[in-house]
Structure 1
């Protein structure tokens, strides 16, 4: 069994190996994820005292009390100059942890090789912009990169609502307020309503998980500010379907109408292995041109795919189109290409 003193050694190992995630639970070996692949860090299992000791090192008394009461907790932690997003939880009655290592610095949009449409997004002064994808798809890093570039290029007021705060922004040309759930505000809907009185130019909502938060974000976007938000959805079409699905049937017509008015774009991304080393973000892009707004208003989501194909000159692209370009450039394998395009093939879209 590993002794408690080895906790920081595991963290140092993960940093040295450039891991993206660390997983710890009682009775199992600790694991880390490198380049998307899970691998054991040790040959011996972790004890309950090891996990409990590590939790005591990472969390203050009030956080530990909340974990004991709620049986899960999200927080951020800094060690050796690196930021971590920490999720503590219980499984089979024992404490467990998942730690996400954030990049040492906020990368530029060009470094992330994101679609050119992102540069145009910096010109926006109102509307609702979604970055979507599964857990670990790089949504937070993409939004942090966007905010950092805005911070360097123009004067505006930025408010972020996060759970927890991941990247720390150093104000440059912008006035920035970063607020954390549980520490600086109690609930996302209440914080969103409060943010309206703070008069931000840009409002970041870390994650939309329920209809009340979504409704408030839509309302905020309609008041003349740029709202940035994330959702767990796999594609642009999945995103609008999920948005509508959060509301009861009798509200969906009005939600579609409001969404069609305030939506500026949806960037649905995945992280995949890059044949030149590391991982690469692949994005589907749906921009709210008049035809797209009309289709959303009418609920004709099945036609959005054709809009992405026919408006590539305006910066839109399907996941299949993006994957094809990367395959031809030698950046991804044929297996990765097949996985990225599987949903489109299944639906008869490509």
Structure 2
């Protein structure tokens, strides 16, 4: 009979980030962003059900029975922590397992631009760490929390679903709350932050309009809020947050967001030219006066994009500008850069004008 610990051990030995388990197919491994079929045996329905029963606590098992899916963090001594999603597909149980890298890395070790550390040094306001799924957002956000934890005597309260990276108290005190076991939902947790004497708040997701509204209110009250969102660009992030509000409230929402926004960092992972994994391409929008005014006046994406492209002095860069820098530094090949660029033809022209067309 297959055991969860055997699957987790396999994931670590193969240096994978994710393992997908479903009925009728051999488990699949994701390594450096690419999905690969393994040589493991396909599992029968009852085997996968037994695996799920092995890891699900009573509360999560009840949620799974009611909704057909649930998320949890799962720890094994000697192996580490894993994020697990248990879900049903075509009537059978499936598992998506993600390895959580132990501890929070230093910002300097991530290869991200200096603006990430600059934003983490803010005293108040809203910072959004955005990007598509599996783009390293949690890693970057955890590094920012660790940066604050190491440097400042502050109370950091996290609201996570689930808790992935464990933070020990350093200069700061860190209180980590998990949705489902420590609080009912994100919005309720944020609503009570003021009673917990928090200086910094980290939110692993803003799943609905209420949570967005409460996050803005917490930031407006003088606390630093770091939130993670699954959006594709900095401009998409601004639009997404405003669109959570009904039309008659969007004007006041833009005004509040413009007032509290300190920055958006939106990242994607691309293949390194040397074949040694992937590197983060980080688009950055900083809450300068011009950016805040643009958000308040309507958040026109074209205007925000232009302000980013012209905002190098403030640490801003569009995705293509950040990608061009990585290509210039030979971290990314020309083929990969052109495939990932938002505007590939403009990117090609910029490469030729810079005399870099021969770099691979």
* TM-score normalised to structure 1 length: 0.95
Contact in 1 for aligned 2:18/2:96 (Cα 8 Å): yes
RMSD value over aligned CA atoms?
Answer: 1.8
2:356 aligned residue: none
1:342 aligned residue: 342
SS in 2 for 1:69: helix
Residue 149 (structure 1) shift: 1.6
Contact in 2 for aligned 1:10/1:41 (Cα 8 Å): no
Contact in 2 for aligned 1:122/1:150 (Cα 8 Å): yes
Residue 104 (structure 1) shift: 2.8
Deviates more, 1:301-310 or 1:36-45: 36-45
1:250 aligned residue: 248
- Is 2:23 aligned against 1:26? yes
Contact in 2 for aligned 1:73/1:89 (Cα 8 Å): yes
1:17 aligns with one of 14, 21, 41: 14
Contact in 1 for aligned 2:272/2:332 (Cα 8 Å): yes
Change (3 A) 1:282 1:93: same
* TM-score normalised to structure 2 length: 0.92
2:61 aligns with one of 47, 60, 64: 64
Match runs of 1:232-243 below 5 Å: 232-243=230-241
Aligned-partner Cα distance in 2 for 1:343–1:156: 42
1:148 aligns with one of 133, 146, 149: 146
The CA deviation string for residues 262-283 of structure 1, in whole angstroms up to 9 with x for no partner, is: 0000000011222231221110
Aligned-partner Cα distance in 2 for 1:122–1:217: 17
Aligned-partner Cα distance in 2 for 1:185–1:92: 32
Contact in 1 for aligned 2:242/2:254 (Cα 8 Å): yes
Flag structure 2 segments of 5+ consecutive residues without an equivalent: 351-360
Contact in 2 for aligned 1:81/1:104 (Cα 8 Å): no
1:290 aligned residue: 289
Aligned residue pairs total 346
Aligned-partner Cα distance in 1 for 2:334–2:20: 30
Change (3 A) 1:174 1:81: farther
Contact in 2 for aligned 1:319/1:340 (Cα 8 Å): no
2:214 aligned residue: 216
Contact in 2 for aligned 1:295/1:301 (Cα 8 Å): no
Aligned-partner Cα distance in 2 for 1:258–1:107: 32
Contact in 1 for aligned 2:104/2:143 (Cα 8 Å): yes
Aligned-partner Cα distance in 1 for 2:303–2:59: 50
Contact in 1 for aligned 2:319/2:342 (Cα 8 Å): no
SS in 2 for 1:164: coil
Deviates more, 1:83-92 or 1:275-284: 275-284
Match runs of 1:26-175 below 5 Å: 26-42=23-39, 44-79=41-76, 80-175=78-173
2:198 aligned residue: 200
Aligned-partner Cα distance in 1 for 2:255–2:343: 28
